[in-house]
Structures are given as structure tokens and as C-alpha cells.
């Protein structure tokens, strides 16, 4: 195989059908941003939209905006847009709260929907908040309940007649390894269990087919590949067939059938809205919805193709340019099994990532030894991939990561 | 008593020591905004601050802002500012999630902190989300648990040895009637129960003394008197003495002792932060904190005095100008028992409020018959009170509310 050259990458850019999307995002000069899997970039249109929400909708129209700007339907409106990205139907998704809170709502409700079953299944090394939320739920449910943390190979056998719900993250946050959504869902259903998917590293990153996989429940993040802004509202999905049965314990007024009747008795809203709880963040939803208005116009099949190609090229470049520097590949080599990221391992991963960031290549580090590089095809060019790999090679061959300043751990890694 | 004249009000304005605060808020011309108890007005400084958060912190500094802009400590930073307004100490309050979600966290945790006790007490007509959240929690806890909804007079007797937690809203959302926080808290403690206060209509509206009242737990709203913007993050308070014992079932990664260690086991953070759950809304917290930076400079005793005087004058004016039009007074006449609002009753309350709004006097309606007028001394003048009462008189004497357009109910009232 001939070695790659920069021309190969500029040629790919010239033919890139998604290239025009880059202009929709505000990115600082001199930065190659490979951390859209942690915080998506700012769509240019968001700033003007937020100014309008703040100055006009809040500042001028004040309380009336619940009606005149239709704030009241923002969770469903954003939800319907997300639905189109994850293989769900309108009315099956709402946006509100955080991924963690939504996960609690749905996992807690799933246990009630499967009475007499005492087991919740997940995998070790799942995104920490998923594990923590399930641990908190299990403790709250009491000693009759079990949280079984089964490794990936053991999950199919672990799912049994006592299993209420299986909670897994579709694309692993560290490795990018993807579950076969349809196969695991089928296995859960064979045992009569419900399947709850965390799509935090899938939604907006690759085509997801919740209904095609017969999924029951799902949650996901608004601030990663959906570019909704820091701490953006998350989303949750409940398949149509479960919507009248589900009853999350967090029954707040926004989930009521008639929130402005101010009745003393809780009557859950018909449909997906009963899964809302308190007053949603209108500012957060406005930023998220603005970004979603871009996302829904994207050809997700094209995006997936570019993302996979970028990952493949990055792996090949790292092996060509950084061989012998001690990197391992934590992500699957087969792009069909990989989300939109490539993760490398290195014992000095933290310092290496700091040195990269200092040179404008922004990825992130996940303890103990993972360097994560996210590929967001909407605002990255193929040339960015070449440049990032070359800078990584410079950091390694020059030993730049050994500088003292790169060893100090920050509060947030 | 001689009748009031407009001069009385302009005289009061001339001597008003809080008058300069009005300039800090962006209010539309021609509007008298008496709904700050539902959605606080926009502080002028917020728009510029949000532009900076969006364009620079998110757009330019991207993921680094968790450290460089200290996003990670935003919930505690905002919390400490709120603490100074409600008689709490630094480290006893965090801002995040919605009031409903926070109420669930603390009420659910309170039940665990009082093992063997099966009763949660609240009052009928409490703000609906408080009732709904407690109903959802009770259902989730199972048939051994009781939600006792006792009228105000019966609450002291209802609190007994089986009571885990008493959940009450300090200032009633409809009537503005205020509980004696210290007395009810004392009664709860006598029986060994915990006391959880909802401060949604108190925080930023009047001086609150949580620690002086020996309160255990509290929640409250960021978008009413704290002017944090639509759907602003809410807050929660846990008294220092309970912070190591409390364990909310919503144990998400932001409540972990070391969220970026990415360990599989949940270890609650020491102190107040264990009560966080998922990633907080950074945009929401930025708007809230900007407003809090104004609020912490306000003399709350002066604010309370003006608020009470405004309420007294409004009641007197309504009685002088609108006598015989069928209004009742739903709020206490004694301003010492009243929050920062005056509520009137009228069988045609909805249409009357719509007619008022059409003339620029914005209050709100609460089913079945309450017209609510909130007094926010920071951005209201005494003359506003005179004008509002006169416009109400015109609406009544002219029968303006009978117009067809004012009868139609909007989605949000």
C-alpha cells in the first residue's frame, strides 16, 4: 500500500458532498476540533437565534411567549426533530432534563412495567452516569433488586425471566464500539425484558433505527453530536406501544394532561409528554432546536460514510506516522462496528493530549489511558485529519508531551 | 381616610431608595409587568453576558471552558449566591435541574433518612407540581407509604411519629399566604420528621431565613423572582448537618466525588454537590448567575418593605376604584402574612385578566377564579401600581372584558 500524502486528503475534500456544512459552524481559527463527541461546535445561526429568544421572546414578550412563541411545545418540537434522526416517529421523543435524569425516569418506569422481575442489566465500563443512575435506582428499589453488570459477551445469557430492563449505551464512549441494536433488543424481548438504549454517542453521529430495531426506550444527549450547546437538554424516546403504560416516578406538572388546570390530582398526559417533569429550559431548548433545524437537513447516510472514511484514514495515518511510539488502538478497526470516533491507548495519554491541545488539535482524554478523537463530518475536512495526525507525530517524535505543563491534571479532563 | 391620588404615588417614587434598580432591567414600553412571580424580567446585562457565553466560551473555547470558564463549578457558584438570599451558608445550595426534579430528589432522600416512617405530608392546593411529584414518589414507594394531604389548620396535628417529611410551599402560589417557617419546622422536628420547603415564591421576593428556622431541606425556582430566564435552573438546599447522610436516588455523574475519574462505582461527592445529577445547563446557569450578581447587591429588607407597601396600596386602590364590581381578596390583608403578590378573585377572572393584558397590565390568571398580581420592587414603581389599578377600574366600569376576544382560553394561562 502506497503511503498517504496530503494531496489524497485535499482531493477527498474537493469531492466532499458535505463540505458546505462547515460554513454553518463557528470554529476558532487554528483549531482542529476533534471533540464534538464531548461538546458539539456552535452553529453560526445559534447566536442570532439566542439573541432573539433573550431580547424579544423573554425581554419584550415576557410571559406571553409561552403562547406566542409556543415555548410550551418546545420539548415536543425539538423531540420530533430528534426523532427523525434516530428512526423514531413524531410523538415518540421529547427533549428536556439531562440524560441522567431521563435515564432514571425510564429505567425506574421500566421496572414497574415488568412487575415481579428484579433484575436490571448493564455492562461494566458503561458511561459512568448510566452505571451511577442504575446503582442509585437499585438502592432505592431495595434489597429485592439486582443490578447485574455483565460483560458484553455474557449479556445475552444474563438476560432471563427475572430481567426487567437491559440498559446499554449504543456506542461506547471510550472505545466507540457499537452494539448490534436489533440483536440485543431481540434477545431482551425473547426473555420478556424491556430494552433501554443510551444514544448519547449515536444521535447525530450515525443513522440510528430505533423502531427498525424494535427498541422500547431510549435516552440521549443534546450537547454532543446534536450541537445543542453546553448542558443542552437531553432527550428520551418511548415507543408508541408503551406510551399509555409507562409512568415515570418523576411526575411533574409538565407531564400532566392539563398543566394549567392546576388540579390537585396528577393525570398523566396522553402520549410522550407524560415523560416530562418540571419546567424545561427554554433557553437550552432554543439553542438545541436551532441546531436541530440544521441537522434534520443532513443526509445521514452520507455523513456516516464520511465519518467512517475519516476514522479509517486516521487509523492508517497514526500507524504510518506514529508507529513505534507505543499507541494501541482501542476502537474497532472495522468501521462498521465503530461509532464516529477513534480511540488510541497510551500510558502517557493525558500528557500527549495536553500537548496536542496546546498545538490546536483538540481531542480528549478518558482515564486511565484513552486518547479520544471524535469525527464530526459536518465541520471537519479530510485535510484536518491529515494535519491532526501529523501534529500527533510531531508531538511524539519531538517528545513534546514531556513538558511539565502537560502533566498537570485539570478539574475536567 | 382621604382618597389616594396619583401624587401620593409619584411622591413615594421620588423617595424610593430602590428606584435606581429599574434601570437594570429591560422592560417593553407601555407595559406594567405584574407577573415577575411567574417569569422574572430580563436584566439588561444578561444579553451581553449570554452573547459572551455563546460566542466565546462555547464557540471559541469550546470544551476547554469547563476549566477556563469554570463551567464545572457553575452550580455551586450560583448556589452560593442564592444561599445569601435565603438564609443559607455557602456550600448549602446548588443550582441545577428543575424545581420538580429537585423536589423529587430531596423528598425521596428524606424518606430514606427516616427509615420506618411511612408518611409524607403536604397541603391541598399546594403548587400542583409539588403534589404531583409527591404522588409519583408515593406510588413508586409502594402501598406501605401514605401521602397525607392535610389542610393548613390540620397540619400540626397530622405530623406524627410515622411522618418522614413535611413538604410545604412557603408562600402560596395562588393566595400569597405565607407559612410561619420556623413554627412548622419546629413542629416537624418535635415529631422527628424532616421539613422540606419550596421557596419558589419566596427566594428573591422577601428575606428568607432557612438556617434561622432550622430548616432541613428546600428547593426553589430560578425563573420567578430570581430573574434567571424562562426555564432557568432551579436550586436545592440541604442543611450542613444532613449533607453526609443524604443520598438522593438520582445519583448521576455530576454528584460523584470524582466525576472525571470515570470509575464504575458511585461515590457521592462530599457536601452539597452529591445532590447534582446530570450535566447542568450551562447556558441556563450563565443567565441565572448574571441575574444573581444583581440580586445579591439588593437590600432585601428594603425590598420587602417596598413590596409590602405596594401590595397594601394596590388593595386599597382596588377597593376605592373597583368596589361593587365583584372582586374578592384572596390574599391576606395583613402584609406580614403575605408574599410579594396580591390575588383577587372574580368569576370572570380569566376574561378580565385578558382585557388587562391587552391594555399593557400583565398579571396572570390561575383557575378557577384567581387574578394574580405580582410585585417586584426592583423594576416596578409606585406609579405603576396606581396606573394598574386605574386600568383595572376602566376595564370594569367599561365592561371591556366582555369582548369576545378575551374569553378564548390560551394553552398557557
Of A69, A262, A381, A27, nearest to B127 by C-alpha is A262
Degrees, nearest 5: CA angle A384-A386-A387: 65
Alpha helices in B208-297 (DSSP H): 282-295
Cα(B41)–Cα(A175) distance, integer angstroms: 46
CB contacts of B55 in chain A (<8 Å) are 26, 42, 47
Rounded to two decimals, what is the model's pTM?
0.98
Partner residue facing B283 (CB), from A149, A230, A255: A230
Among residues 348-407 of chain B, which lie with CB inside 8 Å of chain A?
357, 362, 364, 366-367
Q: How far is A81 from chain B (nearest CA, A)?
A: 20
CB–CB of B216/B196 below 8 Å?
yes
Cβ–Cβ contact B106 with A under 8 A: no
Peptide bond just before B368 cis, omega within 30 deg? yes
**Within 13 A of B90's CA, how many CA atoms are on the CB side?**
1
Cα–Cα distance list, A284 to A371, B82, B361 (Å): 29, 21, 29
Cβ–Cβ contact B265 with A under 8 A: yes
Q: What are phi and psi of B17, to 5 degrees?
A: -75, -10
Q: What is the pLDDT of residues A32-76, one digit of tens each?
A: 999 999 999 999 999 999 999 999 999 999 999 999 999 999 999
Average model confidence (pLDDT) for chain B? 97
Of B95, B10, B84, nearest to B383 by C-alpha is B10
Residue A32: strand pairing partners: A361
Would you state the torsion angle of the CA atoms of residues A144, A149, A154, A158, taken in this order, to the nearest 10 degrees? 20
3-state secondary structure of A324: coil
Residues of chain A with pLDDT under 70: 1
CB–CB of B234/B99 below 8 Å?
yes
Q: What is the pLDDT of residues B74-125, one digit of tens each?
A: 999 999 999 999 999 999 999 999 999 999 999 999 999 999 999 999 999 9
CB contacts of B254 in chain A (<8 Å) are 100, 129
**What residue has cell string 410550551?**
A72
Among residues 227-246 of chain B, which lie with CB inside 8 Å of chain A?
229-234
Mutation site for A-interface testing, chosen from B254, B279, B409 by largest number of A Cβ within 10 Å? B279
Cα(A25)–Cα(B194) distance, integer angstroms: 50
Share of chain B above pLDDT 70, in %: 100
Partner residue facing B132 (CB), from A28, A124, A251: A251
Nearest CA in chain B to A56: B28
DSSP notation for A192-214: T-EEEEE-TTTTTTS---TTTTT
C-alpha cell at A133: 443512575
Query: Do the chains contact at A50 and B55, CB–CB below 8 Å?
Result: no
Burial of residue A389, with CB atoms counted within 10 A of its CB: 0-12 exposed, 13-18 middle, 19 or more buried: buried
Cα(A357)–Cα(A158) distance, integer angstroms: 42
Element (H, E) at A392: helix A382-397
User: How far from the centroid of its chain's Cα atoms is residue B111's Cα?
Assistant: 24
Q: What is the pLDDT of residues B201-244, one digit of tens each?
A: 999 999 999 999 999 999 999 999 999 999 999 999 999 999 99
Q: What is the pLDDT of residues B305-333, one digit of tens each?
A: 999 999 999 999 999 999 999 999 999 99
C-alpha cell at B19: 428606584
**What residue has cell string 390530582?**
A265
Cα(A361)–Cα(A34) distance, integer angstroms: 7
**Within 13 A of B174's CA, how many CA atoms are on the CB side?**
18
Query: Do the chains contact at A54 and B46, CB–CB below 8 Å?
Result: yes
Partner residue facing A72 (CB), from B112, B247, B412: B412
Q: What is the pLDDT of residues B193-202, one digit of tens each?
A: 999 999 999 9
CB–CB of A160/B294 below 8 Å?
no
Q: Where does the pLDDT of residue B411 fall: very low under 50, low under 70, confident under 90, or very high at 90 and above? A: confident
What pLDDT score does A2 carry? 86
C-alpha cell at A185: 433488543
What pLDDT score does B210 carry? 98
C-alpha cell at B314: 394596590
Nearest CA in chain B to A100: B278
Cα(B162)–Cα(A140) distance, integer angstroms: 19
Q: Is the ipTM above a cut-off of 0.90? A: yes
Query: Do the chains contact at A129 and B252, CB–CB below 8 Å?
Result: yes
Q: How far is A186 from chain B (nearest CA, A)?
A: 27
What pLDDT score does A411 carry? 80
Q: Give the active site residues of B.
A: 127, 198, 223-224, 372
C-alpha cell at B271: 457536601
Query: Do the chains contact at A251 and B135, CB–CB below 8 Å?
Result: yes
Share of chain B above pLDDT 90, in %: 97
Q: What are phi and psi of B378, to 5 degrees?
A: -70, -35
Element (H, E) at A107: helix A99-113
Cα(A150)–Cα(A184) distance, integer angstroms: 13
Q: Within 10 A of A40 (CB to CB), how many other CB atoms are there?
A: 32
CB contacts of B369 in chain A (<8 Å) are none
Q: What is the pLDDT of residues B116-162, one digit of tens each?
A: 999 999 999 999 999 999 999 999 999 999 999 999 999 999 999 99
Q: Give helix A99-113 / helix A128-141 axis angle, nearest 10°.
A: 40
CB contacts of A140 in chain B (<8 Å) are 108, 112, 249
> Could you tell me how many CB contacts below 8 A there are between chain A and chain B?
306
CB contacts of B230 in chain A (<8 Å) are 57-58, 65, 71, 279, 281-283
Q: How far is B25 from chain A (nearest CA, A)?
A: 9
Q: What are phi and psi of B368, to 5 degrees?
A: -90, -20
DSSP notation for B311-341: HHHHHHHHHHHSTTS--EE-S-SSGGGB-SE
Of A326, A54, A258, A263, nearest to B409 by C-alpha is A258
Cα(B355)–Cα(B391) distance, integer angstroms: 10
What pLDDT score does B396 carry? 97
Partner residue facing B58 (CB), from A61, A62, A229: A229
Cα(B268)–Cα(A212) distance, integer angstroms: 38
What pLDDT score does A402 carry? 96
Q: Give the active site residues of A.
A: 127, 198, 223-224, 372
Residue A370: strand pairing partners: A345, A366
Backbone dihedral region of B247: left (phi > 0), alpha (psi from -120 to 50 degrees) or beta? beta
CB–CB of B184/B153 below 8 Å?
no
pLDDT at B1 over 80: no
What pLDDT score does B65 carry? 97
Alpha helices in A257-381 (DSSP H): 282-295, 300-321, 349-358
Query: Do the chains contact at B99 and A279, CB–CB below 8 Å?
Result: yes
Would you state the torsion angle of the CA atoms of residues B316, B317, B318, B323, taken in this order, to the nearest 10 degrees? 90
CB–CB of A33/A379 below 8 Å?
yes
Would you state the torsion angle of the CA atoms of residues B135, B137, B139, B145, taken in this order, to the nearest 10 degrees? -100
Query: Do the chains contact at B230 and A125, CB–CB below 8 Å?
Result: no
Q: Where does the pLDDT of residue B413 fall: very low under 50, low under 70, confident under 90, or very high at 90 and above? A: confident
Cα(A114)–Cα(A112) distance, integer angstroms: 5
Query: Do the chains contact at A62 and B35, CB–CB below 8 Å?
Result: yes
Amino acid at each position: 500500500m502506497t503511503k498517504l500524502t496530503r494531496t489524497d486528503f485535499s482531493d477527498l475534500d474537493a469531492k466532499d458532498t458535505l463540505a458546505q456544512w462547515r460554513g454553518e459552524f463557528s470554529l476558532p481559527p487554528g483549531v482542529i476540533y476533534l471533540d464534538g463527541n464531548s461538546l458539539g461546535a456552535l452553529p453560526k445561526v445559534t447566536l442570532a437565534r439566542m439573541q432573539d429568544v433573550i431580547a424579544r421572546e423573554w425581554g419584550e414578550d415576557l410571559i406571553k411567549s409561552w403562547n406566542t412563541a409556543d415555548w410550551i411545545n418546545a420539548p415536543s418540537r425539538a423531540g420530533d426533530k430528534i426523532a427523525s434522526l434516530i428512526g423514531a416517529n413524531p410523538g415518540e421523543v421529547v427533549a428536556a432534563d439531562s440524560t441522567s435524569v431521563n435515564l432514571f425516569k425510564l429505567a425506574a418506569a421500566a421496572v414497574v412495567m415488568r412487575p415481579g422481575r428484579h433484575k436490571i442489566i448493564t455492562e461494566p465500563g458503561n458511561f459512568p452516569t448510566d452505571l451511577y443512575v442504575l446503582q442509585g435506582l437499585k438502592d432505592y428499589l431495595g434489597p429485592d433488586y439486582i443490578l447485574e453488570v455483565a460483560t458484553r459477551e455474557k449479556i445475552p445469557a444474563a438476560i432471563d425471566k427475572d430481567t426487567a430492563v437491559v440498559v446499554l449505551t449504543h456506542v461506547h464512549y471510550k472505545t466507540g464500539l457499537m452494539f448490534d441494536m436489533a440483536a440485543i433488543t431481540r434477545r431482551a424481548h425473547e426473555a420478556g425484558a424491556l430494552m433501554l438504549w443510551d444514544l448519547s454517542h449515536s444521535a447525530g453521529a450515525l443513522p440510528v433505527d430505533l423502531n427498525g430495531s424494535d427498541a422500547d426506550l431510549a435516552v440521549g444527549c443534546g450537547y454532543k453530536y446534536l450541537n445543542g450547546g453546553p448542558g443542552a437538554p437531553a432527550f428520551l424516546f418511548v415507543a408508541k406501544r408503551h406510551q399509555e403504560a409507562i409512568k415515570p416516578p418523576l411526575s411533574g406538572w409538565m407531564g400532566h394532561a392539563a398543566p394549567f388546570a392546576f388540579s390537585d390530582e396528577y393525570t398523566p398526559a396522553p402520549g410522550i409528554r407524560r415523560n416530562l417533569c418540571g419546567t424545561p429550559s427554554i433557553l437550552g431548548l432554543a439553542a438545541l432546536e436551532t441546531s436541530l433545524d440544521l441537522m434534520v437537513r443532513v443526509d445521514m447516510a452520507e455523513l456516516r460514510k464520511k465519518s467512517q472514511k475519516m476514522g479509517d484514514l486516521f487509523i492508517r495515518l497514526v500507524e504510518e506516522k506514529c508507529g513505534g511510539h507505543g499507541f494501541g488502538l482501542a476502537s474497532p478497526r472495522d468501521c462498521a462496528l465503530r461509532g464516529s470516533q477513534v480511540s488510541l491507548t497510551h500510558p502517557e495519554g493525558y500528557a500527549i493530549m495536553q500537548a496536542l491541545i496546546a498545538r490546536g488539535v483538540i481531542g480528549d482524554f478518558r482515564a486511565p489511558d484513552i486518547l479520544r478523537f471524535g469525527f464530526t463530518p459536518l465541520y471537519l475536512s479530510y485535510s484536518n485529519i491529515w494535519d491532526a495526525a501529523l501534529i500527533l507525530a510531531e508531538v511524539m517524535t519531538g517528545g513534546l508531551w514531556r513538558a511539565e505543563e502537560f502533566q498537570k491534571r485539570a478539574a475536567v479532563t
